[in-house]
Structure 1
Amino acid sequence: MLPSDLLIHRPRGGSIDAKQLPVADPWLAISSNLISLFQATVGDTQGSLNQKLQTLEGEDTDYRIKRGLAHILRSSFSTFEIVSPLDPQDLRQRVFALAAAAVPSPTAARQHLETLATQLTQELDKDVEPIHIQQGLYADLKENRILTQFEAPTPEALLHRYNLSQVQGIFYRASHVVLNLHRNDPGEYKLMFRYLKLFRLMTYIEGEADQGFTITIDGPASLFKSSTRYGLDIAKLVPAILHVSRWHLSATLQWKDSYTKNRSEKAYTLDSDCDLVSHYPPGKPYDSMLEAAFAERWESLVAKGKTQWQLEREVDLIPIPGSVMIPDFRFVHPDGRVYLLEIVGYWRPEYLRKKFAQVQKADCPNLILAISERLNLAKAGVDVKNVSANVVWFKDKLQPKPLLNLLAELGEQ
């Protein structure tokens, strides 16, 4: 994302506009030049890179945009490393110790470097030249770090990343965000909720899968003390929202005018018709090999005609107070019967306590829990007897047979 000084936002009445660049020339050409510059600087220092970027900026009035594009290349696609035969701080101590033991002179300085190079060659079992010591002496300074790797994006991808970063910056000042997820594929909901948990956002979730969900998020400006770090976490959520097909977002911003310094409340809206492009990877088909293997076994039974129960992936979501529970699978029978399956595999005690608390709150009569016998439920303080769900146990692999037996028993009740 972009730092505040590279964000270009303009108030428009009671709202805010973020700078957006067209994915066309001259910006494609400028992006291509910046990418080529980074590629040509691999193996050189960050200080050298900064000098080249400054030359490329020239005296054009669009220097902030070029700096923004360069910032994204530097922070998201580049790897800078300290290249030194020894930790620079230790290297400085050894050089200074040698220097303090002799009379200062140009000849003595060269001798110190040669002496230390010989010592390090013996200690490190690799050739160390005096020039390596000179270069490594202050290699830990930011401008002396070496650009060792650059994963070049396409010019189009860079422009999309820039436009997204400008929008993300708006949420640094959000005091209240409401996200309406309309009726979508349930797998998209699950990916969205995973990101909410990943970024530890303070949320309240209402709704259901068939109608959609309303997610209310408290922003950094709503806290007792405004937190830029929390604002960054909200901004990180924006690329995740773009993986949802149909949505609408509205945010309340605490805005400070850059000229008058007066504070005012602004609004910002965004929806699924926007042209933003996410760089986050889409959700994986399955959370684990355990789930993937089980689904494969079940599909094999269906293909052979050994069961009429169809296995569907992440179809129903169970709303519970302040959150939502998302089962792994749904069993659907041609006669209309439906059961949900949640696989509880190999997890920490904290996760198990939370998971079983969710099951209790959900109080879902058609929920089946497949629980690994390897889990130490006693250590987690969980008593399965108190869980309001149908339970199936498994060892290393979750086989279809015990679930088929349970579904048959439930059908007879």
Structure 2
Amino acid sequence: MLPSDLLIYRYSGESIVPKHLPLNSTAIALASEQIDCFQDSLGNTQGQLDQKLLELEGDSPNYRVKRGLAHLLKNHFSTFEIVSPLEPEDLRKRVFSRSAESVPIPQNRPHLLENLASLLSEELKREVLPSEIERGLYADLKENRILVSFEPPEPETLIHRYNLSQIQGVFYRATYIVINAHRNDPGEYKLLFRYLKLFQLMTYIEGDADTGFTITIDGPTSLFKASTRYGLSLAKMIPALLHVSKWSLKTKLQSRDSYTGGIKTSYFNLDDHCGLTTHYSRGKTYDSMLEESFAKRWEKLKTEWKLEREVDLIPLPGSVMIPDFRLVHPDGRDFLLEIVGYWRPEYLQKKFYQVRNADVNNLILAVSERLNLEKAGVNFNDTPAKVIWFKDKLNPKAVLSLLEENLSNK
């Protein structure tokens, strides 16, 4: 995605209109120029690459577009590495130690580092050349990292990625998003819901697979404290939505007015005719970091309970629930596991309303102790689910203990 300072948009009334590069000869030539610059810089430092990119900008009025294309190439198609004979920090300690021993300091200062490098090279029994020591001394600085590999995209691919990134940037300032998806293949809904869970978005889902779903997602400006990380997660959801055939989206945005200093409200709409192209996979299974950590730790337990990630949607009155995991015993018994990590009072109230109305008696709720349930007005007295508390990570042993306790009570 693009940082805020590289986003380009205009206003049409109260609606925001992001920058869109057409697939014409001018845009393709612009993208090709940037790609060629990266290819020609293989083996060079990031600082040298940045200098070449600056020269390409010149006094062009399209400098922000060029910087945006370069940002995407640098962060998604390039690999920079620290190239040094030793860890730069260790190398600096050795050189500075040698320097302290060189008292008085030679008057020929320009050759001081060269002399120290030669001494250190001898100390390392000539396994490292003096020139390598000089280059490696500050190799860990960002501008000194080496471009070791570059996977050049087609110019059209880069333009598609740029246009998508401009749209994604809109949602950094979203108060909420409402998505209406209808008459789609059930598999498309399931894929979208899996991505929503991956990015840990606070989502309310209403409807069913036959008539369609209305999906409301809290935006970063609606949180108790605005979160840049959450805003990025929300933006990452947009490429997943492009896998759905029929949909429309509307969002309310809030930003600081540069003239008055007050809050400015604007709006943005998008639908399945937007012409954007996704780079997300259809077939890969996705999990949040919390879920992935739990799954990996579960595999180390010696238990007959099998952990499944593929869980069918659970219909609710006018909505749907998507548990994180299913736990299955060889005798056929199973439990559904839902992890509740994010919080906002209205979100928690809706979540526990869903739990109370779910027609299931085998649900386990893993609830973060960091949630302010008292403020949300939530209690567990009328919640049929079994509850497990956790702090930063969900302990698989706590879940297993609850499962075994249930078996012994049968």
Task: State the TM-score bracket (shorter-chain normalisation).
Answer: 0.7 to 0.9
In structure 1, the partner of 2:35 is 35
The answer on 1:325 being equivalent to 2:346 is no
How many pairs are equivalent? 329
Matches within 5 A, 1:348-363: 353-354=337-338, 362-363=358-359
Provide the rounded CA distance (Å) in 2 between the counterparts of 1:362 and 1:153.
47
Which residue identity lines up with residue 80 of structure 1 in the other structure?
F
Which of residues 124, 133, 138 is equivalent to 1:120?
124
* Residues 1:266 and 2:233 are matched in the alignment: no
Percentage of identical aligned residues: 55
Aligned to 1:94: 94
Classify 1:315/1:43 alpha carbon distance in 2 versus 1 (closer, same or farther; 3 Å). Answer: closer
Deviation for aligned residue 1:253: 0.5
Q: CA deviation digits over 1:345-396, x for unaligned, max 9?
A: 89xxxx96439x999964369xxxxxxxxx989724136979xxxxxxxxxx
State the 1:343 CA deviation. Answer: 7.9
Determine the structure 2 residue equivalent to 1:203. Answer: 203
Q: Relative to structure 1, is the Cα distance of residues 264 and 128 closer, same or farther in structure 2, using a 3 angstrom cutoff?
A: same
Structure 2 SS opposite 1:354: strand
Q: Is the 8 A contact 2:327 2:336 kept in 1?
A: no
Q: Deviations over 1:224-250 (max 9, x none)?
A: 222122111110100010011111111
- Alpha-carbon separation, structure 2, partners of 1:286 and 1:100: 53
1:316·1:327 contact (CA, 8 Å) conserved in 2?
no
Q: CA deviation at 1:315?
A: 12
Conserved 8 A contact 2:82-2:139: yes
The structure-2 alpha-carbon separation of the partners of 1:150 and 1:364, relative to structure 1 and needing over 3 Å to count, comes to same
Alpha-carbon separation, structure 2, partners of 1:108 and 1:269 = 63
Task: Specify whether residues 364 and 223 from structure 1 end up closer, same or farther in structure 2 by C-alpha distance, changes over 3 A only.
Answer: closer
Gaps of 5+ in 1: 288-313, 329-341, 366-374, 387-413
Output aligned runs, 1:12-411, within 5 Å: 12-102=12-102, 103-105=104-106, 106=108, 109-120=113-124, 127-284=127-284, 317-320=313-316, 324-325=321-322, 344=328, 353-354=337-338, 362-363=358-359, 379-382=400-403
The answer to whether the 8 A contact 1:209-1:317 is kept is no
Distance in 1, matches of 2:142 and 2:313, equals 48
Q: Distance in 1 between matches of 2:329 and 2:398?
A: 11
Q: Deviations over 1:30-59 (max 9, x none)?
A: 101110110110110000000000000110
Deviation at 1:21, TM superposition (A): 0.4
3-state secondary structure, aligned to 2:25: coil
- After superposition, the Cα gap between the structure-2 partners of 1:155 and 1:345, relative to the gap in structure 1 and judged at 3 Å, is farther
**SS where residue 255 of structure 2 aligns?**
strand
For the residue of structure 2 that corresponds to 1:153, the secondary structure is: coil
Q: Which residue of 1 aligns with 2:293?
A: none
The residue identity in structure 2 corresponding to 1:363 is: D
Gaps of 5+ in 2: 288-309, 340-351, 362-395
Deviations 1:236-288 (A, max 9, x none): 1000100111111110111333444442221111111111111111134999x
Cα distance change of structure 1 residues 173 and 115 upon mapping to structure 2, 3 Å threshold: same
Q: Which moved more, 1:107-116 or 1:244-253?
A: 107-116
In structure 1, how many angstroms separate the alpha carbons of the residues matched to 2:259 and 2:73? Answer: 30
Q: Which amino acid aligns with 1:319?
A: P
Query: What is the alpha-carbon distance in structure 2 between the residues aligned to residue 19 and residue 354 of structure 1?
Result: 40
In the TM superposition, what is the alpha-carbon distance from 1:70 to its structure 2 partner? Answer: 0.5
The one-letter amino acid of 2:244's match is V
Counterpart in 2 of 1:403?
Answer: none
2:175–2:251 contact (8 Å) kept in structure 1: yes
Q: Partner of 1:311 in structure 2?
A: none
Moved more, 50-59 or 179-188: 179-188
**Cα 1:167/1:52, change in 2 over 3 Å:** same
The answer to whether the 8 Å contact 1:176/1:222 transfers is: yes
In 1, are the aligned partners of 2:194 and 2:286 still within 8 Å (CA)? Answer: no
Q: If you compute each CA radius of gyration, which structure gives the higher value, 1 or 2?
A: 1
TM-score (norm 1): 0.72
Counterpart of 2:345 in structure 1 is none
2:240 is paired with a residue of what secondary structure? helix
SS of alignment partner, residue 225 of structure 2: coil
**Structure 1 residue identity aligned to 2:400:** K
